Structure 1
Amino acid sequence: MIFMRADHERLTGILVEAARREVMPRFRKLAAGEIREKATPGDLVTEADEAAERFIGAELARAFPGAVLVGEEATTRDPTLLDRLGEAELAFVIDPIDGTLNYAADLPLFAVMAAAIVKGETVAAVIHDPVLDDSALALRGEGAWLQGDAGTRDLRVGRAPSPDSISGMVGWAYFPEPLRSTIPARFAKFGQVSSLRCCGQEYRLAARGNCDFLLYGALNPWDHAPGVLLYNEAGGHARMLDGSDYRPRLASTGLLCAPESESWRNIISIVTI
């Protein structure tokens, strides 16, 4: 299947509408009983997550009959949904609210995300900011751009500075040992290391050149399939820690995004040796 620009626009419209209908009306208005913890401590789900995923799923099913839909909340209930990503003619991974911890804490730093996947390859991405009401978009082979009321502008990663002045976003807590302990010990070798607790916003930041690298341990496809395509199409170099290409169904741990291959090698040598 060829995922066309018109398909991409339809996907974008569905996410924008979900944000307007389901996400923003509930923001800062959730009752205590509308925020719950999943099996993992600190992993939250809200009524807004579930309502937005239902809306997105229903609209995608109408727009793309027969497509496989892999939402974060649906996969929590049925992990076998992930097994269908590799060979599906068309699949969508959906994160109804990326950054639920921020959303539940009334912090306006979250995103609504989705990626279209054809035969295991990510071909289109949408990372929508419901607060700013703009979308970071990418279509495989056609670049990355930011689209909103102010118009459209291309996204490009920045030039890599020297390692001692480089800034990055690192999800170190999701690495297995010994990396979980050794990676934070290397932070002093960089200019600045932080985290927004929202992969979507971190990818948006890096794709427009305002962050030099991203390093992640856990690789749920709804968190990373949209962002990796966005970053690569913005001219970046996103690879697994072993140097292989990222694929949405990979069960491996560790992903590094850097402006180009040389800076990628420099950063990987610092954090893994």
Structure 2
Amino acid sequence: MDLAAILRDAARSEALPRFRRLDTSMVMVKTEAIDLVTEADIATENVIKARIAQWMPGALFVGEESVAADPALLPKLATADLAVVVDPIDGTANYAAGLPLFATMASVVSKGETVAGIIYDPMGDDWVMAEKGGGAWLRRPDGEAVRLNVAAPLSLGQMVGMSSVAFMPAASRPQVLSNFDKVRMVANLRCAGHEYRTFASGHSQFLCYNKLMPWDHLAGVLISQEAGAYATRLDGGSYLPSHVDGGLLVAINRDAWAELRREVFVF
């Protein structure tokens, strides 16, 4: 629980006090209008980075904002003996807009494999977390723990999922949008952390992403798999910490994955 406490402390000291108190000077555009960074993102990551350096000295620290400042950090993840990957505020656009749907996430990578993942919800003050082989759990500060399991199977027409076409190939977007009519509902929370929490808690049947930055997906994929999910890249290959493209489809089981890949996510 040391890493869980680090995320909670940083979010409570840096992110929550600034929530709905940002002025325009505290919000910056990175690559485009929907890709934002705030003063709170940077401050929260700085606290986490300093605490990780004390707790796991020698571990490679790969934070979203650290990589934005030094892109050479990201390729080191593939060969690091031990690394901690952090998203200080996942759902920054929501956070900047004053929407209470954001998360602080971290994963531990050992020799190219994700071995632990945590998604902390600062508003709900709880975590979903997993260690490889140990199941997925919702944990609360009072010590209560609830085991998580993916949802029961449904027919394609009754499936609910979360996805976005924003980073899919432009030529494929119209077909994928049309294919969304084959399922019951597709949502986009603009926060991968909460999408993974919702899925791993049994409230949806699938997730699909095309842009694969490690701070957005490593923790959520491990938690989903430990909750019983089938998760691979769109070509059927394993999803690894070094992957930043190739798409990712997460479903409640292998049969649902295959049906969704065939009928909906055709790019």
Per the normalisation by structure 2, the TM-score is 0.97
Shift of 1:180: 2.8
d(CA) in 1 for partners of 2:27, 2:226? 35
Identity across aligned pairs (percent)?
Answer: 46
d(CA) in 1 for partners of 2:44, 2:217? 19
Shift of 1:117: 0.3
1:216 partnered with 2:209: yes
| Aligned pair partner of 1:126 in 115, 118, 122 | 118
| Aligned pair partner of 2:96 in 100, 104, 111 | 104
Match of 1:40 in 2: 32
| Aligned pair partner of 1:82 in 52, 71, 74 | 74
Match of 2:158 in 1: 165
Spell out, residue by residue over 1:228-253, the C-alpha distance to the aligned partner (whole angstroms, 9 max, x if none). Answer: 00100011111100111111111323
User: 2:52 is matched by which residue type in structure 1?
Assistant: L
d(CA) in 1 for partners of 2:106, 2:176? 29
Match of 1:14 in 2: 6
1:71 partnered with 2:58: no
Per mean C-alpha deviation after superposition, the further-off stretch among 16-25 and 176-185 is 176-185
Q: 1:272 to 1:107 in 2, by over 3 A?
A: closer
Gaps of 5+ in 1: 1-8
Per mean C-alpha deviation after superposition, the further-off stretch among 248-257 and 13-22 is 248-257
User: 2:5 is matched by which residue type in structure 1?
Assistant: G
d(CA) in 1 for partners of 2:171, 2:246? 13
Shift of 1:157: 0.3
d(CA) in 2 for partners of 1:124, 1:174? 27
Match of 1:195 in 2: 188
Aligned residues: 265
Shift of 1:149: 4.0
Match of 2:52 in 1: 60
| Aligned pair partner of 1:27 in 19, 22, 47 | 19
Per mean C-alpha deviation after superposition, the further-off stretch among 178-187 and 84-93 is 178-187
State whether residues 118 and 127 of structure 2, in contact with CA within 8 Å, keep that contact through their aligned partners in structure 1: yes
SS in 2 for 1:174: coil
User: 1:122 is matched by which residue type in structure 2?
Assistant: T
d(CA) in 2 for partners of 1:23, 1:41? 21
State whether residues 179 and 272 of structure 1, in contact with CA within 8 Å, keep that contact through their aligned partners in structure 2: no
Match of 2:172 in 1: 179
Shift of 1:87: 1.3
State whether residues 182 and 264 of structure 2, in contact with CA within 8 Å, keep that contact through their aligned partners in structure 1: no
d(CA) in 2 for partners of 1:165, 1:191? 5
d(CA) in 2 for partners of 1:86, 1:51? 26
Shift of 1:211: 1.0
Shift of 1:163: 0.3
Per the normalisation by structure 1, the TM-score is 0.95
1:269 partnered with 2:254: no
Spell out, residue by residue over 1:164-197, the C-alpha distance to the aligned partner (whole angstroms, 9 max, x if none). Answer: 0101100211112323332112110110011100
Spell out, residue by residue over 1:99-132, the C-alpha distance to the aligned partner (whole angstroms, 9 max, x if none). Answer: 0000000000000001000011000001000000
State whether residues 174 and 180 of structure 1, in contact with CA within 8 Å, keep that contact through their aligned partners in structure 2: no
Shift of 1:200: 0.2
Match of 2:134 in 1: 142
d(CA) in 2 for partners of 1:271, 1:165? 13
State whether residues 103 and 194 of structure 2, in contact with CA within 8 Å, keep that contact through their aligned partners in structure 1: yes
d(CA) in 1 for partners of 2:26, 2:90? 17
State whether residues 156 and 235 of structure 1, in contact with CA within 8 Å, keep that contact through their aligned partners in structure 2: yes
Match of 1:6 in 2: none
d(CA) in 2 for partners of 1:147, 1:180? 38
d(CA) in 2 for partners of 1:194, 1:263? 18
